[in-house]
Amino acid sequence: MSLDSAHAAPGASGIAAVPATRMSDTRTPDTAETDPSVFARLARVARRDPAARAVTTSTRSITYGELVAAARRCAAALCSAHGVGGPTAVPIAVIADSSVETVIAACAVLASGHPLVLVDDRLPRQKRAAVLASAGAVVADRPLSGTAVEVLPPPVTRVDRGRTAMVCFTSGSTGDPKGVVLDHGGVAGKADDLRTAVGLTPSDVVGCLLPVSFGAGTTALLAGLLSGSTVALWDPRVSDPAALGDWLRAVGATTMHASVALVRSLSAPDGPRPVVETVRAVVTYGEPLLGVDVVRCRDALAPRADILNWYAVTECGVVAWSRVSPTDDVPEGRVRAGRAVPGRRLDVVGEDGRAVAPGSAGEVIVRGGRPAVGYLGRESDRFGVDAEGVPFFRTGDRGRVDDEGLLHLLGRLDDAVKIRGYLVEPGEVAAAVAGVEGVADVAVTSTEVDDRTELVAYVACVRGHDAQRVVRAVRASAGDRLPQWMIPRFVVPLERIPRTTRGKVDRAALPAPEVTTPSARTRTSSSLTVVATSELVGTALGVTVDLDDDLVAAGADSLSFVRMATMVRERFHVDLDPARVAAEPTVRAIADLIDETTRAGSRSRRGTGVLVPLRETGTGVPLFVVTGAGAPAVSLIPLVRRLDPERPVYGLQAHGLESRARPDRTVRAAARRYVEQIRRVRPTGPYALAGHSMGGIVALEMASMLHDAGEDVVEVVVVDSRLTTALLDGVDAAAEEAPESAGVDPDAVYEKLRLSLPALLRIRLQMMVAGYVTFAPITQWMLFYNKGLRMLKGHTPRTYPGSVTVLRTAGNEQDDRVWSRVVTGRISIADVPGSHTDLLREPHVESVAREIERAVADITVPAH
């Protein structure tokens, strides 16, 4: 998907195969020389009104004339020390704070022709040394009295003189800090984009609440200076946040430039609001802006200001921006990133580099503008030139474009995690949690628990709010705002969210969540329902509880019980009354209720036994679906709801699963029984068959039997079935082994459930009488699951000459070369999202239903 500021039709959709390791390869040689230097532009501004105030702090102010004069004196000292001519120049570092002296020193380096490296004075000593070593820069003292700059250690790096204006270091939040080489046009271009968007004029006072050593702080400073505005510097790291409003009023700030973290930390006072009447625009940087941040900023500080969500990266400046005016509705969750500035285009591309469909997620690519020259001392394929000769930069951010052509950020490409087979953006979860009352700040990460990826929400509470009450509110609200797989397993209250000096979340400083193991009572339980329910409740609440613990005392509320009922419906295919769950809120009571409800459901279906009508109405050709091993036919209900409403659907489940009967011992016996059942519903073809997992193997055997009987089987859809080497041994002994796909090992399942040895022995004995004796439904399903696996071990598929569609999940690598050993007709392979165990649940089941309908769409009912 592509978009630009004018909605122009996109050009080349993909990224060209012309990799450029450095942006110097993408420019014409004389481009930099035709651009006036940043200092030359500043000098022109100063000539217009030298007495105008340029920079002000709490301790000192300086006019434009004084700033340019002081910078020229210092620049002369630098040139004397390191030369004024020659093809190369030495990077010069300024240890920067938010002071007038820092601004003079920075302007001096820009005036000297040497590249400027701004290094935050609050960086830890070791990290500061690493940045200086990486830049190969000499360090200049700030001109505390406007005297010559003292030059320290000898240089180790030299760059093209006149071409390089600055070397800016990234935050390092996604790895080691990288030195980004910017030419004068790129530095000035960033400032021009900002001053145009905000509409800066000489009458403005730019309230810069960002350290000037940060990329955004440098841009805000230069945007103000190149506009002839007054720039007021205020570092929130060393200033009293409570004094912010008074300071903005004192300096007469008309715009405020701050990190999202600072805006998020604002809270409305108990008394009258200290409204800052002069502030007309607030520009935020660093992290995605949330709707709740907009509300807090207006309530605490500037109710009549436009809020600008500024999405920019060090390597190419602004990517997109959007404005929320005081009359606009405040969006929930993240504020959209917006639209590219004029002359720039944004593409959203997939892993193959091609533009994705509108609304789909992919990596955000910036085309045009004035990207950086490249990374200092290293190559990168993130910079390049497309087929039209336009430079581009891969941001590494995930985004999507909405129907209005506006960009929405979803997070970093490397932040997304798989939870239960679903791709989850932690930033989306954080946006939902941030809107909960009492949450001042939030960070969401992932952790590994028992070989499963789980989400962790860290929350800092608003002053005066009880932390545990906020945690309970987060759990309850998350279930209401988020799908089950996006609900954090752990909610960890913190006094504050640790952040780096740049205001980004310091993930390394976040404490690991406390993971408790199930009690001995849970570990030794012989009831599979109890064990499964315990896991479900732990997921819903984010804590592990004993079987008879009061769940209300553990943090459950009415929304938690609704969430548990939803999870029970997805996993056990029954509907629980949340009121009954809340009436006796313990794991054991909920497990008993599940067993009671599933037994009642089984009794209501007992008249059919094997063939279960799931939808009997409709004019289309019926679809007969064989369940996976041990699964009841009602597990297919989510699939039925997604299929064509005019298509009758029947489920086929194991004989004896829901009524006392002798179970079938072989796949052929089960297939024979199923064929007899479906011919009672539909005596003659055409037939459409489908099967999930083991059910796909049974469906193929049914198709062979119907074909032998002269019936027309127009399609068999096997849903993530696996042809193991054991299954194929008798088909073609000379053929190579089939690639094994990840399956389910029952012994591993039992180990996962932590059943005791007596419980395991009891289950082995139950398997011997399963069918003749009906056990609790969850236990019954597990027993028949194991019986199904044993049936498969003794089965050899017959060669089927008809048409087969194979649906595969990511864990299934078997292709048509494998399936051609048992299917001689047409074979269609289609990949579907999800995992083997959840592809028949929402949201993945929609894709499965779509592929099934595509496979059987052309089947028509013959006229009689």
Between residues 171 and 690, which one has the greater pLDDT?
690
pLDDT at position 604 over 70:
no
- Mean predicted confidence (pLDDT) in 228-247: 88
| Confidence category of residue 30, pLDDT binned at 50, 70, 90 | very low
Percent of the chain at pLDDT > 90 equals 32
| Confidence category of residue 638, pLDDT binned at 50, 70, 90 | confident
- Mean predicted confidence (pLDDT) in 438-445: 89
Give pLDDT tens digits for 56-112.
998 999 999 999 999 999 998 888 766 555 556 788 999 999 999 999 999 999 998
Which of 89-93, 557-561, 644-648 has the highest average model confidence (pLDDT)? 644-648
The Cα angle at residue 400 between residues 398 and 405, in degrees rounded to 5 = 140
How high is the pLDDT of residue 43?
95
The Cα angle at residue 330 between residues 329 and 334, in degrees rounded to 5 = 135
Backbone angles phi, psi at 707, to 5 degrees: -65, -40
CA distance linking residue 491 with residue 457, whole number of Å: 5
pLDDT at position 150 over 50:
no
pLDDT at position 570 over 80:
no
| Confidence category of residue 743, pLDDT binned at 50, 70, 90 | very low
How high is the pLDDT of residue 612?
87
What mean pLDDT, rounded, does the chain reach?
A: 80
Run of H or E including 300:
helix 291-300
Q: For 541-598, give the DSSP string.
A: HSS---TT--TTTTT--HHHHHHHHHHHHHHHS----HHHHHHS-SHHHHHHHHHHHH
- Cβ-based neighbours of 72, under 8 Å, separated by 6 or more: 108, 111
What is the CATH architecture assignment of 38-183? 3-Layer(aba) Sandwich (3.40)
- Alpha carbon 800 to its chain's center: 43
CA distance linking residue 78 with residue 152, whole number of Å: 11
Query: Helix, strand, or coil here: 417?
Result: strand
**CATH T-level fold of 520-597:** 1.10.1200
**Residue in 374, 371, 380 with CA at minimum distance from that of residue 345:** 371
How high is the pLDDT of residue 656?
83
Burial string for 328-343 (b: 16+ CB within 10 Å, else e) reads eeeeebbbbbbbbbee
Backbone angles phi, psi at 277, to 5 degrees: -65, -30
CA distance linking residue 856 with residue 624, whole number of Å: 12
Query: What is the C-alpha end-to-end distance of the chain, expressed in Å?
Result: 50
| Confidence category of residue 482, pLDDT binned at 50, 70, 90 | confident
Query: Helix, strand, or coil here: 203?
Result: coil
Contact 525, 759 (CB under 8 A): yes
How far from 589 is each of 474, 476, 760, 775, CA to CA, in Å?
25, 21, 23, 18
**Residue in 351, 313, 337 with CA at minimum distance from that of residue 401:** 337
Contact 376, 354 (CB under 8 A): no
- Mean predicted confidence (pLDDT) in 682-702: 93
How high is the pLDDT of residue 278?
93
- Cβ-based neighbours of 330, under 8 Å, separated by 6 or more: 291, 294, 295, 324
Same fold, 38-183 and 611-856: yes
pLDDT at position 740 over 80:
no
pLDDT at position 518 over 90:
no
How far from 129 is each of 95, 141, 217, CA to CA, in Å?
11, 16, 21
Stretch among 44-53, 151-160, 413-422 having the lowest mean pLDDT: 151-160
How high is the pLDDT of residue 25?
32
Helix extents (H) in 800-863? 816-819, 845-856
| Confidence category of residue 35, pLDDT binned at 50, 70, 90 | low
How high is the pLDDT of residue 252?
94
pLDDT at position 383 over 50:
yes
pLDDT at position 45 over 90:
yes
Backbone angles phi, psi at 328, to 5 degrees: -80, 150
Which of 495-499, 515-519, 656-660, 763-767 has the highest average model confidence (pLDDT)? 495-499
- Cβ-based neighbours of 47, under 8 Å, separated by 6 or more: none
- Cβ-based neighbours of 601, under 8 Å, separated by 6 or more: 573, 574, 634, 777
pLDDT at position 584 over 80:
no
Cα within 13 Å of Cα(750), Cβ side: 19
What does the DSSP 8-state code read for residue 500?
Answer: -
Sign of the torsion angle spanned by Cα atoms 213, 216, 220, 222: positive
CA distance linking residue 678 with residue 15, whole number of Å: 53
Ordered by start, the domain boundaries in the chain are: 38-183, 415-509, 520-597, 611-856
Query: Helix, strand, or coil here: 271?
Result: coil
CA distance linking residue 762 with residue 765, whole number of Å: 5
| Confidence category of residue 3, pLDDT binned at 50, 70, 90 | low
pLDDT at position 706 over 80:
yes
**CATH T-level fold of 415-509:** GMP Synthetase; Chain A, domain 3 (3.30.300)
How high is the pLDDT of residue 243?
84
How high is the pLDDT of residue 7?
36
| Confidence category of residue 578, pLDDT binned at 50, 70, 90 | low
Question: For residue 20, how many other CB atoms are within 10 A of its CB?
Answer: 21
pLDDT at position 257 over 50:
yes
pLDDT at position 143 over 70:
no
How high is the pLDDT of residue 140?
78
- Token reading at 379: 């190559």
* Amino acid letter for position 214: F
CA distance linking residue 535 with residue 146, whole number of Å: 68
* Amino acid letter for position 845: V
pLDDT at position 226 over 50:
yes
**Residue in 728, 746, 750, 747 with CA at minimum distance from that of residue 737:** 728
Stretch among 205-219, 748-762, 775-789 having the lowest mean pLDDT: 748-762
Residues linked to residue 690 through DSSP beta bridges, in sequence order:
625, 717
pTM of the model: 0.59
| Confidence category of residue 565, pLDDT binned at 50, 70, 90 | confident
Give pLDDT tens digits for 314-328.
898 899 999 999 999
Contact 149, 108 (CB under 8 A): yes
Sign of the torsion angle spanned by Cα atoms 429, 435, 438, 441: positive
Residues linked to residue 626 through DSSP beta bridges, in sequence order:
652, 691
- Mean predicted confidence (pLDDT) in 297-322: 90
- Mean predicted confidence (pLDDT) in 635-655: 89
Contact 488, 457 (CB under 8 A): yes
CA distance linking residue 822 with residue 796, whole number of Å: 10
- Token reading at 795: 């089965």
> What CATH number was assigned to the domain covering residues 611-856?
3.40.50.1820
| Confidence category of residue 151, pLDDT binned at 50, 70, 90 | very low
Give pLDDT tens digits for 357-381.
888 889 999 999 888 888 888 888 8
**Residue in 249, 107, 246 with CA at minimum distance from that of residue 166:** 107
How high is the pLDDT of residue 588?
82
How high is the pLDDT of residue 525?
43
- Alpha carbon 182 to its chain's center: 30
Helix extents (H) in 98-243? 100-112, 125-135, 184-198, 215-226
How high is the pLDDT of residue 800?
94
